[in-house]
Amino acid sequence: MDATIRTHIEHMHEDLAKRDSLRLNTDWLKQALLNVPRHLFIEQYYDDEAPDGIARVESPIPTAKQLEAIYSDRGLMIREDPHSAASQPTLIFGMLDDLKLTHGCKVLEIGTGSGWNAGLIAFRVGAESLVYSIDLQADLVEKARKHLNSAGFTEVNLRAGDGGLGWDGETFDRIIVTVGSPDIPPAWIESLAEGGILVMPLKTRGAGDPILRLHKQGNTLTGTITRWAGFMDLQGNFKSSTENALEPSSDPVLEALLQEEPTFAPLRAYVGSDCALYLRLNGEPMETLWEYKEQRGMHSGLLDRELPALCVPRSVYEPKPENRVDAYGNPQGVDRFITKIEEWVNLGSPKITDYHIELIDPAVSADEVPHSYVDKRPNATLRFSLPDVPLSRDQN
């Protein structure tokens, strides 16, 4: 291996090994980075500083700037229309940690992308033929095949197809989903072996894509949320637009509200994805806004189209630290939203990692378990519960 590339890999290893969120064996992590070099899987990525906005990676040895980007802890957009990205290494290794891979595991990956994740999985389980990866985009699959071959992985099972349908009735010890899914398709549940683990990002619109880690026990799945993330949307038969972010310029109700001058109300705590998930589970119309008030990026907001009212929690650091709500529209709707946020604070501001999750029968009521919330999707009904909430919290 070229000495410059090895130096970049060692620097990445040192950086990732320091992360408290990663519990992977550091020796295995270094060997994985050396044996599945990331630069072999990145042919191009989008870079604002490139002449046409695209950095085309030089082969066999990328430029110093390209190596710095590839071996940094950042996600890289590798294609537009349709979008595809090489996920942030911290997120990839965090999800592999969630998967609890062992030697000899048979693994299904939904969303092949560049192929790097499939290569890392193959290296971990010790047998390429135990790894199956599927992507709806046929050209991405062929590029991933080329990337894997260049890294010495010639027996990984690759296929172009709808990942929501599984893989011909095959059964797997582990299933990892690397696209945000608005549901849990039946095929994923049916093809997961008893005692198996499913790791997947669940689209929740206003709360991002929390990563679920679910164990199969009998006919049900139970587990937790391990971390927050943001992924491209699942395509194919199980695609759904109901979980997509809103664009103010294309939503007349939202656009009209944002024309108003907002009022401001202070909050007792920072409101981020933890609160957004709580509000979503409590039936509030939590939505994610793109480019809120000409600010690039995602902003969680509460939108009531009937009143109408919009409430956008923000953290403002200038001129002094302050947590507040930017409120538009009907004051009654705004007051209701703020009351719900206060309820979350009074519960002790539960984090997304505090919830216990269980796949349940759609007819089961949330009231059967204290501090539980039912989230009904087209194919799966999930109960999120807070088993460790002290009674004193309700009395605050």
Q: Are 83 and 114 in contact (CB under 8 A)?
A: no
To 10 degrees, what angle do helices 26-35 and 116-125 make?
Answer: 130
Q: Is the link from the previous residue into 308 a cis peptide, with omega within 30 of 0?
A: yes
CB 367 within 8 A of CB 390: no
- Give me the catalytic one of 87, 191, 349, 385: 87
Contact 382, 183 (CB under 8 A): no
Rounded to whole angstroms, the Cα distance separating 176 from 75 reads 18
Backbone angles phi, psi at 371, to 5 degrees: 55, 45
Confirm if 188 and 176 have CB atoms less than 8 A apart: no
DSSP string, 50-107: STTSEEEPPSSS--HHHHHHHTSS--EEEETTTTEEE--HHHHHHHHHHHT--TT--E
Is residue 87 part of the annotated active site? The answer reads yes
Dist. CA 390–CA 396, nearest whole Å? 11
CA 234 to chain CA mean position, Å: 11
Cα-flanking dihedrals φ and ψ of residue 84, to 5°?
-150, 140
- Separation CA 350–CA 348 (nearest Å): 6
CA gyration radius for the chain?
22
Q: What angle do CA 85, 19, 233 make, to 5 degrees?
A: 25
**Locus of tokens 């590339």:** 5
Is residue 131 classed exposed, middle or buried when 0-12, 13-18 and 19+ CB atoms within 10 A define those classes?
A: buried
Catalytic positions: 87
